[in-house]
Structure 1
């Protein structure tokens, strides 16, 4: 009887191990599929922008190529809003508007079901909230967790957004971690200057280090968010610095 139990236990353990290995293989394959889709888009974007992701300054876009680029992106996905790029990091992706709640958490830009998802925002707002996964392979918004280091921030201060023919340059003014239940950081609209001032002061106070940048009440903001382990989020705030045509 004991021999039978031992045999059954061994079979169950081997089956469990086999299923785990199979699931891991499937997940890794999904990651690679997602990486390849975005790698192709990044290459196409660099060709249109006449620049590479390592360049420190905003590229000069060829208008003819830009028009073709915009038509291509919107034809592939009508939810396309803008391209987000942080020089010197892996963050170099199309951003979509999340018209179906949660859809882009597990669907790529092309609409394929994939755990890497897509960088997405909810709506145009005074404080544009942008979400992305913290992927173990370093893709999507994984590099945001590096901003917990002041030295990393010093070398990657600016966030570039290419929207409707214009480059928008944002400079980071705060970075910190929060518990996932702290939802006040995702406030996108403000009913008064006093309310926005309170928000800005709170963001600056929470920052892990002094950035040297201080937004004005009238400034436009973006807030980048990603997961950090269980129940935590990394938050990076940036303020619009200028437009570059």
Structure 2
């Protein structure tokens, strides 16, 4: 006699459906993770290629040194700016306006300016669709960094690329690894000295663009310096040109910014 097949109960059906659903969710999540990993890698590989167009000099801080001859001083050595192959980078993307390098960090990227503030949020320097995006200035800013406040945006990537380590390096006094930022352009090389780093409202005062260097700008600078998480002890005045580096924090309502004043041309 053949054995009778065991009848499936409603519970068996439900358990099977739950198992299938769980397997589907697992596969969907796995595919998404793979896609995210590939996007991260593609973005990282691209910007590694871009750095081949730049020779980054080791910065030396100006200092007085005593010599064997009493009272004699060695001439101060000027900081050396990164050397950029502008022709090579411009052949890839005409939107490039500068190269940014932050002392003591791995942040070293081309800077672009788009027609709006949306395109480069999701497109790389080479114009490829990618969550890494690009480092770009506000579309309302002048490309020559001569505005009172030039705003520079970059994603806070989980793998530390783009502005992913900005908060790590400037969240408190113990984390600060350097205080200078290079902004190199095809015309001039500028070095900026950091005077403030803080968490701000996503639509806060920090993103103000000023038509002129007046007392309103001076008051803004005073407030920004006071809000800093680190006491940089760098004086700022309305005559200064500043840059504001901005990245997300994981909270849609806030951003992390680092601000620096132009220290000189090299």
TM-score by length of 2: 0.82
Gap runs ≥5 in structure 1: none
Query: What is the rounded CA distance, in whole Å, between the counterparts of 1:96 and 1:180 in structure 2?
Result: 21
Equivalence for 2:76: none
Equivalence for 2:182: 160
Confirm or deny: 8 A CA contact 2:82 2:184 kept in the other structure: no
Equivalence for 1:10: 19
Which of residues 165, 171, 191 is equivalent to 1:148?
171
Query: What is the rounded CA distance, in whole Å, between the counterparts of 2:81 and 2:219 in structure 1?
Result: 37
Confirm or deny: 8 A CA contact 2:54 2:82 kept in the other structure: no
Shift of 1:216: 1.7
Alignment of 1:214 onto 2:230 = no
Confirm or deny: 8 A CA contact 1:79 1:99 kept in the other structure: no
SS at match of 2:234: coil
Change (3 A) 1:228 1:20: same
SS at match of 1:17: helix
Gap runs ≥5 in structure 2: 1-9, 61-78
Query: What is the rounded CA distance, in whole Å, between the counterparts of 1:243 and 1:73 in structure 2?
Result: 22
The equivalences for 1:101-116 within 5 A come to 101-116=117-132
Confirm or deny: 8 A CA contact 1:176 1:207 kept in the other structure: yes
Aligned pairs, number: 231
Change (3 A) 1:161 1:60: closer
Confirm or deny: 8 A CA contact 1:90 1:140 kept in the other structure: no
Confirm or deny: 8 A CA contact 2:194 2:259 kept in the other structure: yes
Change (3 A) 1:144 1:17: same
Structure showing the higher helix proportion among its residues: 1
Equivalence for 1:94: 110
Equivalence for 1:129: 151
Confirm or deny: 8 A CA contact 1:168 1:242 kept in the other structure: yes
Equivalence for 1:84: 100
Shift of 1:98: 2.2
Change (3 A) 1:43 1:74: closer
